């Protein structure tokens, strides 16, 4: 068995002595469920906590992150369900958080083991990673090709942004339900999809992997579109719902301060934290708050090497990546939800109906639950404009009124709390002053001596 360096053993000991501790409390706040996470500092733990909250379907309304700049940190989240109420299944949320953080800690703490000690592999799935130029009817062609090649789609997610499309598609053999292992068949699938995507060698690639080893799909989609430089070159949106991002310096403490002001939506906090984590920045302190449908976030960050952002080029890169990450999930178009008994060729048929009615899919989320297909599509017309309601009605009647419906997905507007009367009601309200919210929290926690912010 390979021996570990003494410093690695010490780090492992520190983490074991400070295993993540989670508290979920419905009695502290009248309007939200309070979630507290205490843990030894490890890069990525914050993202794991935020991802677990997002996966549970709760909305983060406000909270803060604080650390001693050393080995421990504490996160506090005020969360609600989609209706703006306290989380009813608080016990299940606690279990999910504890399980997710424990799994992340176990993965980081894993020491080398003797050969042959690995646990038995679970059933493998074939993952297709697709990236290419978006165009009307593209997803219809992708699912038609998979159906023609006798591939059954188990789960899938697809995003479009800046004229590009990225998709993750899990498939298995349509006839046997078994994983696809044949190398020649995989090459044939890859070749056909590359032709559809017209993206050359980067257009499509396949990965055989253990189902339990698949990471967060949203994070992987962010990575695919970030790696595809063409997707993030579109100019940021303008207007009252625009995304405003600024990066400033607090040289006195050696931090870079990132502020974000934009329209609130589900998984917004995840998208920001995910981007900072993948850019190899560590969040030491932060505050996030919502007022109605507007969100403001502020984070004190350093690079993994402990240094702040050191150049204008690096600063612009962070701003651009955050704006793109926030805007690429801003689902455009009408949200259609399909719940129907799964069958062969279902996705090829439904997306063909969209294409034949001149609808373009901007986002898609495909899920198979037993023998049921639960799919969500965001659709526009082929020019990217809002779809004609008559066309939507024709599509719904064509697919089946009992199976396909329009989902408004209205997320609740929260009333402003006292003292927030001057808070922003849109991006036009401007960003925070440097460190305004974080400094207040650091002062209250006794981590800085004075607080001059108003």
- Residue 228 in contact with residue 211, Cβ under 8 Å? no
pLDDT tens by residue, 327-357: 998 767 899 999 999 999 999 999 999 999 9
What's the whole-model pTM score?
A: 0.82
Percent of the chain with pLDDT strictly greater than 70: 74
**pLDDT class of 108 with cuts at 50, 70, 90:** low
* CA 392 to chain CA centroid, nearest Å: 28
Structure tokens at 93: 């949320």
Give the residue from 220, 169, 173, 174 showing the smallest Cα distance to 351. Answer: 169
CATH topology of domain 125-215+331-406: Alpha-Beta Plaits (3.30.70)
pLDDT at 200 over 60: no
pLDDT at 380 over 90: yes
pLDDT tens by residue, 205-238: 777 666 556 788 999 999 999 987 654 555 455 5
What is the predicted pLDDT for the residue at 446?
43
Q: Structural domain boundaries of the chain?
A: 6-108+235-329+425-444, 125-215+331-406
pLDDT at 39 over 70: yes
What are the DSSP calls for 414-452, one per residue?
BPPPTT-TTS-SSGGG-PPPTTHHHHHHHHHTTSSS---
CA atoms within 13 A on the CB side of 109: 21
């Amino acid at each position: 068995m390979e021996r570990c360096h003494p410093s690695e053993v010490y780090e492992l000991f520190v983490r074991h002595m400070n295993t993540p501790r989670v508290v979920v409390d419905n009695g502290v706040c009248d309007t939200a469920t309070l979630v507290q996470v205490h843990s030894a500092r490890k890069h990525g733990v914050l993202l794991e906590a935020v991802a677990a909250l997002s996966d549970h379907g709760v909305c983060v309304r406000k909270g803060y992150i604080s650390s001693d700049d050393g080995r421990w940190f504490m996160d506090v989240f005020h969360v609600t369900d989609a209706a703006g109420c306290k989380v009813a299944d608080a016990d299940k949320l606690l279990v999910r958080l504890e399980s997710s953080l424990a799994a992340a800690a176990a993965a980081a703490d894993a020491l080398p083991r003797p050969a042959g000690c690995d646990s038995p592999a679970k059933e493998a799935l074939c993952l297709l990673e697709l990236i290419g130029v978006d165009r009307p009817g593209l997803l219809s062609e992708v699912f038609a090709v998979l159906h023609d090649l006798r591939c059954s789609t188990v789960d899938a997610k697809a995003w479009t942004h800046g004229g590009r499309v990225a998709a993750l598609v899990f498939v298995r053999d349509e006839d046997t339900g078994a994983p696809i292992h044949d190398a020649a068949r995989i090459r044939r699938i890859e070749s056909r999809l590359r032709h559809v995507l017209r993206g050359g060698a980067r257009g499509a690639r396949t990965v055989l992997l253990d189902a339990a080893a698949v990471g967060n799909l949203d994070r992987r989609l962010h990575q695919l579109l970030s790696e595809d430089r063409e997707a993030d070159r579109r100019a940021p949106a303008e207007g009252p719902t625009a995304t405003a991002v600024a990066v400033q310096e607090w040289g006195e403490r050696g931090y870079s301060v990132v502020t974000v002001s934009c329209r609130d939506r589900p998984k917004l906090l995840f998208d920001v934290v995910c981007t900072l984590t993948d850019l190899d920045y560590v969040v030491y302190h932060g505050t996030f708050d919502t007022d109605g449908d507007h969100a403001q976030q502020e984070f004190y960050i350093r690079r993994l090497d402990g240094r702040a952002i050191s150049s204008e080029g690096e600063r612009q890169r962070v701003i651009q990546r955050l704006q793109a990450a926030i805007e690429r999930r801003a689902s455009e178009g009408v949200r259609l939800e399909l719940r129907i008994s799964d069958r062969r060729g279902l996705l090829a048929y439904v997306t063909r109906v969209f294409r034949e009615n001149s609808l373009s899919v901007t986002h898609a989320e495909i899920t198979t639950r037993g023998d049921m297909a639960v799919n969500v599509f965001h659709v526009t017309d082929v020019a990217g404009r809002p779809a004609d309601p008559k066309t939507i009605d024709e599509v719904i009647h064509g697919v089946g009124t009992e199976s396909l419906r329009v989902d408004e997905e209205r997320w609740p507007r929260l009333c402003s709390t006292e003292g927030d009367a001057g808070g922003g009601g849109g991006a036009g309200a401007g960003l925070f002053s440097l460190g305004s919210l974080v400094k207040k929290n650091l002062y209250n926690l006794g981590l800085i001596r004075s607080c001059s912010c108003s």
